[in-house]
Amino acid sequence: MDAFYQYFLLPIIRNGWFNPLNSIVYGIILVAGGYGVFRLLLLLKIQIDGKLYISLIPFIAFAGVTRTLRDYVYSMSNTQAGFFGTFAEHMHIMQQNAYDYVLGMTGNHFLAAADSHVIAWFPTPGSYFVTFALALISLLVALAVQKYAEAPYWKTLFILGLAMFILNGAMLPVNTLEPLFYIGAVSLAWAALFFGMVRLNGTKLLKKADKRIREAMKTVFTNRNSAILSAHLFDATATFFAIAAFSTMGGSGYTEQHFLSRMLMPFIGPQVMFLLKLVVVIPVLYFLNKYIEDKDFRNFLLLVVLILGLAPASRNLARLLVGV
């Protein structure tokens, strides 16, 4: 029980810290849960295509701003007696303070009660479970609307996710827009690079290259893959600027929560985030597009890779805008 507290509950009390053990366990849960979601989508006869991708983007953004709401409530709560005590006491304080904050922002007791529980349980793995549950409920509603009102499910799903994102996003106490310009400019530069590589395919310049290089380029640098790479480099860029250039409202510096990048950062610096993204995501994209023959399964796995980049990226940017 002590090990469970140390490796799983204590990281949540510390607002989502990662260690090798919980990273492995969460990875296993992600794989098992991901396969279950894939089978569910097939059961519901949902085509895994660009429309599904688009409909889920608001939910990914919702996860980012909701996680930042928790960061903000956490920063207001961590001086209270008992906050770092038992897990139950910690979660009670978080939920109560989240309730008070949402009630003060909206004046709606029902909304405050519901959203406060969402906010309190939003560190990993809670953020994935809660967001999935909300997206699944929204999907079932969207399918019902499609059946009886003949409106495409993905449009209804997009609107429901957008409403959730706007609701929680509007409650963020944005402190500065400065990080948006730095991160936005660098992220756009990465996107231009990746989509520029797509344009190289089939040009005279690439035809002079080795056949294996040409095939690898065509496999990795497609429009969809370039969008996924852009999302992950957006995440790396936000992390880099957070650690290298910005500080929290309290004046302390940001730190990396994932153990591998945290371990390498003293030797390479915060730019290690760019290196890790490139050496991990590019081979993953190559493997999925080269060796996964089932189109639906391949598209689903690519969707998972997109979420793993875009969700933390949106949270990192939102944190910097708030300053927590």
Helix, strand or coil for residue 229? Answer: helix
Interval 178-197 mean pLDDT: 95
Q: Where are the domains of the chain?
A: 1-173, 177-324
Q: What angle do CA 40, 56, 107 make, to 5 degrees?
A: 110
Q: Is the model's pLDDT at 255 over the cut of 90? A: no
Q: Is the model's pLDDT at 183 over the cut of 80? A: yes
Among 178-182, 223-227, 261-265, 303-307, the range scoring the smallest mean pLDDT is: 261-265
Question: Is 146 exposed, middle or buried (CB count within 10 Å of its CB: 0-12, 13-18, 19+)?
Answer: middle
- Which amino acid makes up residue 134? L
pLDDT at 1 (0 to 100): 60
Residue corresponding to tokens 């996680």: 67
C-alpha Rg value of the chain to the nearest Å: 21
pLDDT tens, position by position, 49-101: 999 999 999 999 999 999 999 999 999 999 899 999 899 999 999 999 999 99
Average pLDDT for the chain: 92
- Which amino acid makes up residue 291? Y
**Per-residue buried b or exposed e for 172-186, using 16+ beta carbons within 10 Å of the residue's own CB:** beeeeeebeebbeeb
Interval 225-252 mean pLDDT: 89
Q: Is the model's pLDDT at 246 over the cut of 70? A: yes
Interval 2-21 mean pLDDT: 89
pLDDT at 302 (0 to 100): 96
Helix, strand or coil for residue 296? Answer: helix
